[in-house]
Amino acid sequence: MHKTMWDNPTVMLIAKFILYVFLIGVAILQIFPLVWLFLFSLKNNQEVFNLPPLALPETPRWENYVTVWTQGNIGQYFFNSVLVTGSAVLLTIITASLVTFAITRMRWKLSKPVLGLFMVGLMIPVHSTLIPLFNFFLNVNLMDHLLAIILTYTAFNMPLTIMILLGFYNTLPREIEEAAIMDGCSINRLFFQIILPMTAPVVATTAIINMIYNWNEFVFVQTFISSDNLKTLTVGIQNFVGQYSTDWGAIGATLMISIIPILIAFFILSNRIVEGITAGSVKG
């Protein structure tokens, strides 16, 4: 049998070495912004502008974190972000799962037009909806209310969530549903006790995607929320930007606090995310 150069152990070792060096370089590029932001959050205004980006501050200003939490109302903003993000993610996943279940597992005439209607939502620019949504929430007395943000996030995340769920739902064996129905299982029990647990990997994928979008969103909160005690972290950062002076260290500390929950969620759900992305790619 003819041997190729890839059968040579030395060549394979060199190839692995090059691959690992490349991956390490990519990892360093990914980590660099986090390291820069962490060092940025420990500096005062003079050090921010006079020291190199990765230089250590002369005296780490840990009090920046204490200041933003106690004096900058960051604790309230953090709570609002958690409440809005968690509620919107939960509502989006449950609603999108119900829609996907109805479209893929049930037979009815309008299933394809309804799916097409949801997919049209992917083509609607977010900013083009600001004025209609503003008027709508104003008429139903939901302006300056967190429910307006939760409903908006849910609506805009539905099309993408459904699209991700579709591939996975199409791979689920129908024999499980048939056996459950033969045993007297209702549609509600079939969905919540059998189908939904089986879709845990792809649900984790959609959860982290929705979480990142909801947590970092700025425009809707800035437009629909005016009360300071209802603002989220992304909007609350503006408190440290003044007309004549800006506390850059406090802004860095706030940004660092804001990304920690997303990093923790990503590390916890990373395996599930990979499973969810690959699960729907192979049928059977």
| 128 within a domain of the structure (yes/no) | yes
14 and 84 in a single domain? The answer is: no
28 and 100 in a single domain? The answer is: no
126 and 31 in a single domain? The answer is: no
C-alpha–C-alpha distance, residues 112 and 257, integer Å: 43
106 and 195 in a single domain? The answer is: yes
| 129 within a domain of the structure (yes/no) | yes
Do 37 and 248 touch, CB atoms closer than 8 A?
no
**173: how many CB neighbours lie within 10 A of its CB?**
10
193 and 267 in a single domain? The answer is: yes
pLDDT at 241 over 90: no
- The DSSP letter of residue 55 is P
pLDDT at 2 over 70: no
**pLDDT tens sequence across 17-29:** 899 999 999 988 8
What is the number of domains present in the chain? 2
Instruction: Look up the domain containing 223 and give its range.
Output: 71-279
32 and 86 in a single domain? The answer is: no
Closest CA to 102 of 93, 111, 94: 111
131 and 33 in a single domain? The answer is: no
CATH number at residue 182: 1.10.3720.10
34 and 114 in a single domain? The answer is: no
| 54 within a domain of the structure (yes/no) | no
| 60 within a domain of the structure (yes/no) | no
Do 252 and 43 touch, CB atoms closer than 8 A?
yes
79 and 219 in a single domain? The answer is: yes
149 and 10 in a single domain? The answer is: no
140 and 28 in a single domain? The answer is: no
pLDDT of residue 4: 65
Do 252 and 45 touch, CB atoms closer than 8 A?
no
**171: how many CB neighbours lie within 10 A of its CB?**
14
pLDDT of residue 30: 85
**pLDDT tens sequence across 69-105:** 887 788 889 999 999 999 999 999 999 999 999 998 8
- Average pLDDT of the segment spanning 160-186: 86
27 and 154 in a single domain? The answer is: no
C-alpha–C-alpha distance, residues 80 and 147, integer Å: 11
**pLDDT tens sequence across 54-74:** 888 888 889 888 888 887 788
Q: Which residues of 38-68 are buried (b: 16+ CB within 10 A; e: fewer)?
A: ebbbbbbeebbeeeeeeeebeeebeebbebb
pLDDT of residue 284: 43
**Which residues face 277 on adjacent strands?**
none
| 208 within a domain of the structure (yes/no) | yes
In the chain the first and final C-alpha atoms are separated, in Å, by 35
| 57 within a domain of the structure (yes/no) | no
- Average pLDDT of the segment spanning 2-18: 74
**pLDDT tens sequence across 176-205:** 888 888 888 888 888 888 888 888 888 888
Residue type for 208, please?
Answer: I
C-alpha–C-alpha distance, residues 71 and 49, integer Å: 24
